[in-house]
Structures are given as structure tokens and as C-alpha cells.
Amino acid sequence: MRKFKVAVVGTTGAVGLEMIKMLERRNFPTESIKFLASERSIGKKLTYNGKEITVELLTKESGKGIDIALFSAGATVSKEFAPSFAADGCFVIDNSSAWRMEKDIPLIVSEVNPHDLKKDKKLIANPNCSTIQMVVVLKPIHDFAKIKRVIVSTYQSVSGAGQKGINELTEQVKAWAKGESIPTANKFQYQIAFNLIPQIDVFTDNGYTKEEMKMTNETKKIMGDTSDTSIEVSATCVRVPVFRSHSENVWIETEKPILPRQAKELLSKAEGIQLMDEPESKKYPMPLFAENMQTTYVGRIRADISTKNNALTFWVVSDNLLKGAALNAVQIAETLVKNELI
């Protein structure tokens, strides 16, 4: 089997570290690997498959000779460096928001739209974490009954805001446990410990946040339905005091009737999904189960009793650092290899 020269950009961040773990855990065919980051991380030592590797400085020349680069260093870095990597013939799989809605750049979830990957499309966008886990579940249902409308409420963990989000919740909980004053919020708008914040990212003119609009626009692009008659999506995104894994309550309306038992059957056979739907035994998805798991869990599937239209509601949970970011990026790389696009 052919092996590939790989680079991970932003290796010392929360997602970058998970990318390294996913490449190892999934035995990606790696000939060599480079760890690239900003000046403050130069010289740090990280381990890959038992070998210690030194973090190097990211430059516009770093992509020369690299086959695949996984970027997780933020939109600003991606805009500055990713085009140079792509110009040198490297496939760039970017985890930031920089390229997701660019018309000619594929926005990929491996179980949903792998057909959008092309040999000549070197720059590839990894979708938003909350979008990924939702569309994985929507896809089998959409293929069967055609989804018309989606209303989703998310319950997003602090790791979605990176290591600083994790640290802030940790510090606040520790202070509370010691009976000390809870430190002032810095990363989040308000105290996150023992609280919910109905704002992720900034508000736009229509009253929705950028995070909520990402879910709307990305879902349409990934599902291949961007016309005026496309899937309609309305999202409310909430930050919750959970360290890892996002949860979502999803309501859908379909053109064709679909019963809960039919949806369960479809989802039980779908790639990347584990059905966890035994309410009588208190079995349903929770962040507690999803952490560090390479699976999107779905449960509590039921018909909407408030309408006679074709409507279902269900609960989706997935590790936002894995399927929501690092795992999906590695799966895109695996699809490039599997489909002989590289």
C-alpha cells in the first residue's frame, strides 16, 4: 500500500492533538509526518507512533513535498498559508471557517457527500462541529423521505471554544468547590460553570449568531441543496458546562411520510451512526458516553404529536473534537486515498 507524507498544522491545539491521535488510531498510511505551528510552539516534542517529533515553524514553504496537510490553526492562519500548500500540490483539509462557504471549495462529511471530492480540488473544508454530527443523521432520512425543514437546538461543550474554554470551566468549578469566588469570565460572555449561555459567536443582523448561520448555510451546501426550495434550517446554539461532546435536539419535516420505526431501521444501518434508543431501559445518547468515541449517537426518535405533517424529532450526541473536527478531517484524507484521488 502506498504511504503518504503528512503534515499537521496547529499541532499543539486541542483539535491538532486529536488529529495526531486519529491518524495513529486509524492507522493512516503515513510515510512521514511533520508537526507545524507558530513560533511559540517551536521546539516542543510530540509523539507519533512511538517516535518523538519536534514541532517546526509553519511557513509558506512548508507544504513542499507534502501529500496531505491537516490544518487546525484558525481562519487567519489558514487564509495565509493554506493556498501556498495547495499551490504546491498538497491536499489541504482545513478545520477552520475560512473556506467553508467558498463556492468552488468542497465542504465534506465523508458519510454524506464524498462525491464532492475531486483530484483538482486541493483545498477542502471541514465543516463546523455542530453541523457535522447533524448531517450524518439527516442523510439517511433525507435519502428516504426528503427533508423539507430542520429546527435544531444545540447544547455545545466548552471544548468547542478550544483549550481556553476547557480551562475556564475547570478554573470556575475548582473555585466553586473550594468555596472561593468564581473567576471572572474571559473566554465566554458569562460564567459558564453551572450556567447555560444562549450565544455562540457574535450576533448577525437577523438576530441569529454566526454559529447558528453556519449550521444553516453549511447544511444546505453539504446536502447539495442550495436553491430557494432547499432544506430550511433554523438553529439555536447554546454553550453548556460540559467539557466534551455536543448534544442536539433535532426536529425535521419531510415530504414523504416516515415512521419512527422506519427512521430507526435506516439509522441502525447507516455508516458512522450508533442507534441508542431504548427509553424503557433509560438508554439514550449522552455526552458521558460519546467522549473519545468515533461514533455519532442518535436516540429518542419519535413522531411530533403537535402536527399531522410528516415530522420527527430526535436527539444526537457526538464528540465535537473527534467526529466534529479531527476524525472527520482524517476520514476525508482516507476517502481521498480510497477513491484514488491522490
Q: What is the pLDDT of residues 62-96, one digit of tens each?
A: 999 999 999 999 999 999 999 999 999 999 999 99
Among 90, 142, 237, 246, the active-site one is 246
What the chain holds in terms of domains, given with CATH numbers, is 4-126+325-338 (3.40.50.720), 131-320 (3.30.360.10)
CA gap 342, 332 in Å, rounded: 12
> Residue 228: its pLDDT value, please?
53
What is the side-by-side strand order in the sheet with 296-303?
232-239, 147-156, 246-254, 311-318, 296-303, 273-275
Give the C-alpha separation, 160 to 192, whole Å. Answer: 13
pLDDT of residue 207: 98
Mean per-residue pLDDT, 12-20:
93
- The stretch 128-155 carries a mean pLDDT of 97
Kindly give the pairing relationship between strand 123-125 and strand 56-57. unpaired
> Strands 296-303, 246-254: parallel, antiparallel or unpaired by DSSP?
unpaired
DSSP labels for 61-100? TTTTT-SEEEE-S-HHHHHHHHHHHHHTT-EEEE-SSSST
Q: Is the pLDDT of residue 198 over 60?
A: yes
Mean of pLDDT over the chain: 96
Amino acid 224: pLDDT: 86
Active site residue 237: no
Show the cell assigned to 176.
466553586
Single pTM value for the model: 0.94
Q: What is the pLDDT of residue 109?
A: 98
The catalytically annotated residue of 90, 115, 129, 237 is: 129
**Average of per-residue pLDDT across 280-291:** 97
How many secondary structure helices (H) and strands (E) does the chain include? 8, 14
Neighbours of 279 (CB within 10 A): 11
Tell the residue number behind the cell numbers 442507534, with chain if given.
Answer: 275
Q: How far apart are CA 165 and CA 148, in angstroms?
A: 35
Cα–Cα distances (Å) from 34 to 58, 61, 68, 330, in that order, read: 10, 13, 11, 15
129 flagged as catalytic: yes
β strands within 138-201, DSSP E = 147-156
* Residue 246 grid coordinates: 455536543
How far apart, in Å, do the first and last CA atoms of the chain sit?
A: 13
* Pairing between β-strand 91-94 and β-strand 147-156 as defined by DSSP bridges: unpaired
> What tens digit of pLDDT does each residue of 208-250 get?
999 999 999 999 999 987 555 589 999 999 999 999 999 999 9
H/E stretch holding 134:
helix 129-145
Q: Provide the pLDDT confidence category of residue 178 given band limits of 50, 70 and 90.
A: very high
Query: pLDDT-based confidence at 40, cuts 50/70/90?
Result: confident
